[in-house]
Amino acid sequence: MNTNPLVESPSNPRDNPCYSVDPSVATLNAMADNEESVQLPYAQFLYSRLAANPVLEKEPNAPPQRLLICFAMADVILLGSGLRAIDRAIQKHELKVVQRADRRYAATLKTHVAAVSITFTKDNL
């Protein structure tokens, strides 16, 4: 039995290896590329900002979108494509887990996260 909801087949849009949603969650589990995993409480969610990835001007093969998710103690930056679905989930406080997925899934997924970084905004962490 598979207990990890992110290791499903990408053929079904509900089985996206990049993220999962749950309307009853109180925290976001962000898994950075460096394998750091952080639980961020929605009580500290400030805002999100979806925009074109500014690196695209210099690197045409870079992921096309950048999603900044700001919490009181940390900022999470996602690079990828089709990130509007993740932005909607975070706005509704339903995003449960977000992590990067292998490039081989990019062509079959409507939402693909190519990179995740976490930066703490307080020095004491």
Question: Average pLDDT, stretch 99-104?
Answer: 89
Confidence of residue 22 (pLDDT cuts 50, 70, 90): very high
Percent of the chain with pLDDT over 90: 73
User: DSSP secondary structure string, 63-90?
Assistant: -SEEEEEEESSEEEEEEEESTHHHHHHH
Say if 5 falls within a structural domain: no
Q: In total, how many domains does the chain have?
A: 1
pTM of the model: 0.84
What is the distance between the alpha carbons of residues 14 and 63, in angstroms, rounded to a whole number? 22
Residue 4 has pLDDT above 50, yes or no: no
Range of the domain at 114: 17-120
Say if 11 falls within a structural domain: no
Confidence of residue 108 (pLDDT cuts 50, 70, 90): confident
Listed range (40-49, 68-77, 96-105) with the worst mean pLDDT: 96-105
